[in-house]
Every structure is written in C-alpha cells, then in structure tokens.
C-alpha cells in the first residue's frame, strides 16, 4: 500500500479526527461519506496509517515499524474489505472474516482497524452480520466505512456510525489545486460536478474521449441514426462506471436549458451547442421519466439485474422523446 496523499479541502476533517483521536474520544465507527472524486478513501487510508504509526506527528511518519507494515499491506491490526473481482457485492463471508478480525487482540498496542470500501454494496446478510459488530464493538476497535452512496446503506447501520461528510470544495480552491495537475481545469471540474479527483481522473487516459463517444451515440439515437439496441450493447461492453453519471448530467443540462435556467452553470460546457440542439427538439414531458430510468440503472449498477436491458430501455425512451420509435 502506497503512502496516501492529502488534499487541501480535507484539512478541517483531518483536524477534527486527529483531535478526537488525541483526546481518546474516537467513536467505534466512522461513516466517511460524500460524492465520488473527493478523496474519501485516501483520507481513510491516511487516518488509519496515522493511528497505527509508532510516532505520529501531523501525519504518519512513514518509517517506523508500524508504518512499514502498513505500507507493505501486512499490518496485523488493519484489515480492508472491498468488492472482490468476481462479484458485484460485498458478501457475508467477507464480513464474517472482518468480524472475526476485529474481535482479535491487538498486536501493537494501538487500534484494531477495519476499513470497508463501498459498504453500500453489502448484500442483506452481510449488512446484518456487520450490524452485530456495530451493536457490540470490541474495545479499541475502529470501523471505517467509506461510501459515495450512503443512502443505499440500511438505516440501522447509518445510525450506529458517526459521520464525516465531504462536500464539494469551493470552486476557486478546487481550480487552484487542479490547475497544478492537469490542463483544461475549468472544463474538467465542470464535467466532474466540482469533484477535483474525478476531474483529474477525466484527464487521464481515454476517459474524456470515451465520454465524447458515448454522447455521440446519445445524439445519434435521438436523430434516428443509431439503434438503441446497438448503442446499449456497446455501452454495456465498453463504457466505464461513470456512464450513468454522464447520462444524468446530460439530462440535467437539457432540463436547465429548456427551463431557461441561467443561474446554474451547465455540467457539460464543452458540448453546450449540441445540448441546445437536442433541447429544441425534445418532448419535455419525457425528460423526467428518462431521468428516473437513469437513476434506476445507477441504483442497480452493483446488482445482478440485466444492466444492458436497462440501458436499452433508457435509449428507447430517449428515442421516443424525439418521436423516433426505431
């Protein structure tokens, strides 16, 4: 495990967590929540490393025995649980292993820390198993739950955690940081809905070009130049996880343009003119039904239902909004 960076928009949360740790008032479970692209997992790694450091200062020292074990990924008092490669969910067997681990004695005299990445993907049995540990946490244990979709967590779990909520940083501060990392910072930040790390991710590889290709399919379906079935199959096979977020942002911008909302900036300034063309032709009554369908696909993205079929339904509805039944 590499040393984790820290970001300027996290300093207030870091100071709060550090103060709670130094005064011995940390809760047994922290739910670190906020939209994707704000560095929540980096924050959780950094905090866990600091707690397990033998001589912590403002951050983990990086060179003591505890830090070396943590960075090597084999600290005996730290366990990280996430979705396995062959699954869409965190399974009950994984949570049972976590429960067993958190109940063991500490090796190094600090904390026993278990981190769950994307706990909203736990199936029902896994969530119920975790609840037992949350209700009767062992001494000196700390659960770190890191989620971009906390609304999908059972209320019984949410209510047993204290919350650290990451919000979108002020635009000026985000741009100051992002301009040191990537060109076209203004456009990237708008596309990422203000999340600096999501914006940085867009600047890497072919993700920005992939998004443009997805929008081209979207526009071609509206113009009856592309079959919704073919487009949905291509999206399902080749498009990354942010696809549904892109869909929702395009529909939101069309709603803004149709309602003459000039107060809020568009999420997609680079395709402003293309969106305006679509706005002039769309049946506005279909727009909110389309948005609901896109939300449904995003909710089911981690599940076992046929996502390609859901994408086909969206694109058929999208085509119908332009009087195109193809």
> Spelled out in words, what is the top-level CATH class assigned to the domain 205-320?
mainly alpha
In this prediction, residue 278 carries a pLDDT of 93
Dist CA 318 CA 219 (whole Å): 10
Query: CA 55 from chain center: how many Å?
Result: 32
Nearest residue to 250 via CA among 193, 207, 209, 201: 193
Collapsed DSSP state (helix, strand, coil) of residue 122: strand
Extents of the domains making up the chain: 8-165, 205-320
Cα-trace Rg, the chain: 22
Q: Is 227 exposed, middle or buried (0-12, 13-18, 19+ CB in 10 A)?
A: middle
pLDDT of residue 301: 61
Q: What tokens were used for 161?
A: 């955690």
Sheet strands side by side (includes 29-33) = 78-81, 112-117, 141-147, 29-33, 162-165
- Give 263-307 as a DSSP string: SSPPS-GGGHHHHHHHHHHS-GGGHHHHHHHHHHHHHHTTSSS-H
Structure tokens at 150: 């906390």
Q: What's the pLDDT at 65?
A: 94
pLDDT value of residue 298: 75
**Would you state the pLDDT for residue 243?**
84
- The per-residue pLDDT for 217 is 95
CB 121 within 8 A of CB 149: no
Cβ neighbours of 21 (radius 10 Å): 17
pTM: 0.77
Q: What is the pLDDT along the chain (326 residues), one digit of tens a residue?
A: 555 678 999 999 999 999 999 999 999 999 999 999 999 999 999 999 999 999 999 899 999 999 999 999 999 999 999 999 878 899 999 999 999 999 999 998 789 999 999 999 999 999 999 999 999 999 999 999 999 999 999 999 999 999 999 999 999 999 999 999 988 888 889 888 899 999 998 888 678 888 889 999 999 999 999 999 999 999 888 776 678 888 998 999 999 998 886 666 788 888 999 999 999 988 888 888 888 888 877 776 655 567 788 888 889 999 998 887 55
Question: 8-165 in CATH: which number?
Answer: 3.40.50.300
Supply 78's token pair.
């730290």
**Which pLDDT score, from 0 to 100, does residue 1 have?**
52
Q: How far apart are CA 128 and CA 15, in angstroms?
A: 32
Position 13 scores a pLDDT of 96
Q: Which residue in 287, 285, 247 sits closest to 267, CA to CA?
A: 247
Four-point Cα dihedral 91, 39, 159, 89, nearest 10 = -10
User: What is the chain's percent helix, strand, coil content, to nearest 5?
Assistant: 55, 10, 35
């Amino acid at each position: 495990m590499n040393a984790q960076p820290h970001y300027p928009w996290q300093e207030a949360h870091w100071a709060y967590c550090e103060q709670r740790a130094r005064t011995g008032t940390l809760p047994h479970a922290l739910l670190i929540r906020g939209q994707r692209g704000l560095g929540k997992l980096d924050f959780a790694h950094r905090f866990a490393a600091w707690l397990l450091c033998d001589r912590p200062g403002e951050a983990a020292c990086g060179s003591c025995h505890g830090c070396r074990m943590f960075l090597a990924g084999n600290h005996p008092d730290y366990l990280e649980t996430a979705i396995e490669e062959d699954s869409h969910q965190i399974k009950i067997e994984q949570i049972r292993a976590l429960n067993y681990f958190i109940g063991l004695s500490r090796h190094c005299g600090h904390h026993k820390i278990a981190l769950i990445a994307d706990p909203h993907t736990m199936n029902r049995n896994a969530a119920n198993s975790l609840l037992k540990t949350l209700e009767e946490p062992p001494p000196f244990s700390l659960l770190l739950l890191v989620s971009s979709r906390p609304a999908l967590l059972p209320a019984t779990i949410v209510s047993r955690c204290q919350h650290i909520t990451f919000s979108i940083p002020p635009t000026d501060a985000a741009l100051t940081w992002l301009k040191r990392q990537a060109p076209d910072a203004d456009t990237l930040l708008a596309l990422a809905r203000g999340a600096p790390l999501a914006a940085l991710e867009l600047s890497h590889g072919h993700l920005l070009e992939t998004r443009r290709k997805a929008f081209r399919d979207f526009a071609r379906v509206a113009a009856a130049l592309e079959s919704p079935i073919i487009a949905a199959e291509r999206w399902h096979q080749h498009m990354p996880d942010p696809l549904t977020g892109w869909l929702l942002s395009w529909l939101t911008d069309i709603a803004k343009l149709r309602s003459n909302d000039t107060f809020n900036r568009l999420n997609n300034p680079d395709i402003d003119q293309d969106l305006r063309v679509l706005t002039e032709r769309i049946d506005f009554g279909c727009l909110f039904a389309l948005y609901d369908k896109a939300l449904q696909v995003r909710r089911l993205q981690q599940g076992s239902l046929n996502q390609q079929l859901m994408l086909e339904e969206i694109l058929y509805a999208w085509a119908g909004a332009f009087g195109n039944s193809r």
